Amino acid sequence: MTKALQHQAITAKKTFKQHAMTFTMCIGLGLGIAVNVQAKNINPPSLRADAPNVYVVKKGDTLWDISGRFLQRPWRWPEIWASNKHVKNPHWIYPGDRLLLCTLDGRPLIGKDEGDGCEGVIRRAGGQAGINLSPQIRVESLNNAIPVIPLDEIRNWLERSIIVSPANIANVPYVLGMTENRVIAAAGDRIYVRGNGIQVGQRYAVYRVGEPYKLRNAQAKEYVAGIELNQVASGLATQQQGDVSTFELTKTFNAEVRKSDLILPEYDAMLPTLFYPVPASQVREGGQVIRVLGSIGTAAKHSVIAIDRGNLDGAETGQVFALDQRGEITTDPKTKEQIQLPSQRIGHALVFKTFDHISYAYITDSSLPIKLGALLAVPLSDE
């Protein structure tokens, strides 16, 4: 295995763990950032006209949907959440919890009812609207805690998809063949891998190479920004002869192993379950939707998309982007000029995994089908 590949594997493992730790640093009900309402926003978040005074959390709820029941801008939830700092996991909510809508100094405040109503919610919040909390790393099992978005709908891309530089997979070991000249293999089968750096007794992941992501640089010249790899199996290296190794496949994931699939070190997937939107002030304008994952069509609510903004471009896990559909071109009936109509806001997406120049995001809401080329914008604050 080349030094570049070894470095990439180590970096990928560290990056994944960093993502997981970031996801599970809980503040409010999610990301570990200090919340200061009055410093970030002069005006309090606007409540929905039909916001309930009491809401009982149900199994299957997501925090985003619950936030949307109370607020016109769900991503501003951390500004109004009041938690009991005297219990072990004060920021998590569970099915059966009663959420109360209260008021403190004319600002909305929502917290868990612990038998003492809004008086207790306000008291546990510290008696002030600007709630400052320090990041706390949660390492215990979250069990039935309510997630921000449905974890099952992003699990495949969270656990088994990565985007890498083409240069980093140029000399990666690959599947040479299977026993009995088979063209595919699955769990329980034996395969043969060609390439250097394989260690007998070590576990490895088998990846299928996907379509490259092509972007344009400042000079409008197209380049490959990354190659998507999707894990299809995992296995154990059992024998080695020269540069050919024998593998026993132990698991397959929604696909069979084929010739030319790539072999990379397998790392433990620290699957996060809590992450939460960061303030809109940390989101930069620019970028667009470049792929709808798992589909060749348009995206809608609950879809997973790829955007042309990565961590080197300022994208971060927890950022919420507004999605604007480009305006159509129309002909002015008087001047006959070709005029582009204004863009139309049609939804929002939450970033849950970032790479160098590409990120995965989850569509939290949409009013119209979201097409490739939809523009990324900073979500509006209440005025």
118 and 164 inside one domain: no
**DSSP codes joined into one string, 335-362:** T--EEEPPPEEEEEEEEEEE-SS-EEEE
Quote the pLDDT of residue 285: 87
Task: Inform me whether the pLDDT recorded for 37 exceeds 80.
Answer: no
- Tokens at 25, concatenated: 């640093």
Does residue 149 form part of some domain? no
- 3 state SS of 96: coil
Pair type for strands 174-178 and 190-194: antiparallel
Return the H-helix or E-strand segment holding 127. Answer: none
> What CA–CA distance (Å, rounded) separates 288 from 308?
6
Q: How confident is the model at residue 311 (pLDDT cuts 50, 70, 90)?
A: very high
Quote the pLDDT of residue 271: 52
163 and 73 inside one domain: no
Mean per-residue pLDDT, 98-106:
90
Task: Inform me whether the pLDDT recorded for 211 exceeds 50.
Answer: yes
Task: Inform me whether the pLDDT recorded for 18 exceeds 80.
Answer: no
The residue out of 109, 138, 167 marking a domain boundary is 138
Does residue 205 form part of some domain? yes
pLDDT in tens, 234-280: 999 999 999 999 999 999 998 999 999 999 998 765 555 556 677 77
Quote the pLDDT of residue 149: 84
pLDDT in tens, 273-308: 556 677 778 888 899 999 999 887 899 999 999 999
160 and 252 inside one domain: yes
Quote the pLDDT of residue 92: 76
Does residue 62 form part of some domain? yes
187 and 128 inside one domain: no
| Cα angle, residue 293 at apex, residues 289 and 296 outer, rounded to 5° | 90
Mean per-residue pLDDT, 60-80:
87
163 and 217 inside one domain: yes
257 and 224 inside one domain: yes
Which has the minimum average pLDDT: 9-23, 149-163, 177-191, 309-323?
A: 9-23
Q: Is 242 left (phi over 0), alpha (psi -120 to 50) or beta?
A: left
| Cα angle, residue 28 at apex, residues 22 and 31 outer, rounded to 5° | 15
Does residue 45 form part of some domain? yes
Q: Taking a C-beta distance cutoff of 8 angstroms, is the pair 51, 101 a contact?
A: yes
> What CA–CA distance (Å, rounded) separates 173 from 259?
11
230 and 258 inside one domain: yes
167 and 126 inside one domain: no
Task: Name the amino acid, one letter, at 55.
Answer: Y
Owning domain of residue 212: 154-265
| Mean pLDDT rounded to a whole number for the chain | 81
Q: Taking a C-beta distance cutoff of 8 angstroms, is the pair 358, 163 a contact?
A: yes
133 and 162 inside one domain: no
Helices and strands per DSSP (H, E), number in the chain: 5, 23
Which has the minimum average pLDDT: 27-41, 171-185, 242-256, 284-298?
A: 27-41
How many domains, in total, are found in the chain?
A: 3
- 3 state SS of 121: helix
Does residue 1 form part of some domain? no
The residue out of 202, 233, 265 marking a domain boundary is 265
Task: Inform me whether the pLDDT recorded for 162 exceeds 60.
Answer: yes
DSSP E strands in 92-155: the ranges are: 98-104, 107-112, 136-137
Q: Which residue has the higher pLDDT, 329 or 142?
A: 329
115 and 44 inside one domain: yes
Q: Which residue has the higher pLDDT, 56 or 27?
A: 56
Does residue 148 form part of some domain? no
109 pairs with which residues across the strands? 102
36 and 74 inside one domain: yes
Does residue 145 form part of some domain? no
Does residue 146 form part of some domain? no
Q: 293: domain CATH number?
A: 2.40.10.410
Q: Tell me which residue has tokens 């690959």.
A: 174
